[in-house]
Amino acid sequence: MDICCPTLVGLFRIGLAKRLRDGSLFFLPDYFTAAACFVDFQSKLNALSLSPNLTSLCLGDPNEYIIQSFPCFGIQSKQDWISKLGESTLIDSLCQSDLSDLTSCDACFQAASKVQAQLVSLDGNISHATNCLSLSLLYAAGVANKFGPESKLDAACLFWMSFLSPWPSKRKNHIALVYSLISAALTVVLLSCFFSLRCWWDKYKRKRRVQVQSIDVKEESDAIELNLKLGAIWLDSEKLQRATDNFSQKNMVGEGSFSLVYKGTLSDGTLVAIKKIRESDFQGDTEFCKEVEISSNLRHQNLVPLIGCCMTDGNQGKGEELGKQRYIVYAYMPNGSLQDHLFYDENRFGGSNRMPLSWPQRKSIILDIAQGIAYLHYGVKPAIYHGDIKATNILLDENMKAKITDFSLAKQITEGQSLISTRVGGTYGYIAPEYALYGKLTEKSDVYSFGMVILEIMTGRKALISSSTGSPEPFLLSNWVLKQITLGQTHEVLDPYLVSTSPQAIMERFVLVGLFCAHGRVVCRPNILDALKMLEGDREVPPISNIPQPFSYSLLPNHSDL
Going from N- to C-terminal start, the domains of the chain cover: 4-205, 217-332, 339-561
pLDDT at 369: 98
Could you give the angle at the alpha carbon of 334 between the alpha carbons of 332 and 338, nearest 5°? Answer: 100
Residues of the chain whose pLDDT is less than 70? 1-3, 6, 153, 160-233, 257, 279-287, 313-323, 344-353, 414-425, 438, 467-473, 501, 545-562
Among 313, 340, 388, 446, the active-site one is: 388
**Is 276 labelled a binding residue?**
yes
pLDDT at 424: 52
pTM over 0.75: no
pLDDT at 252: 92
d(CA 338, CA 361): 11
d(CA 166, CA 101): 8
Q: Could you please state the CATH topology (level 3) that the domain comprising 217-332 is classified under.
A: Phosphorylase Kinase; domain 1 (3.30.200)
Q: How many CA atoms lie within 13 A of 387 on its CB side?
A: 26
pLDDT at 233: 67
What is the CATH architecture assignment of 339-561? Orthogonal Bundle (1.10)
* Phi-psi domain of 349 (left: phi exceeds 0; alpha: psi -120 through 50; beta: other): left
Cβ neighbours of residue 493 closer than 8 Å, sequence gap 6 or more: 458, 459, 481, 484, 485, 511
Same CATH fold assignment for domains 217-332 and 339-561: no
d(CA 81, CA 272): 56
pLDDT at 492: 86
Could you give the angle at the alpha carbon of 102 between the alpha carbons of 100 and 106, nearest 5°? Answer: 110
pLDDT at 109: 81
pLDDT at 446: 95
Q: 235 and 296 in contact (C-beta within 8 Å)?
A: no
Of the chain, the end-to-end C-alpha distance in Å amounts to 49
Cβ neighbours of residue 39 closer than 8 Å, sequence gap 6 or more: 211, 224, 227, 228
Whether 388 is catalytic is yes
Could you give the angle at the alpha carbon of 354 between the alpha carbons of 348 and 357, nearest 5°? Answer: 120
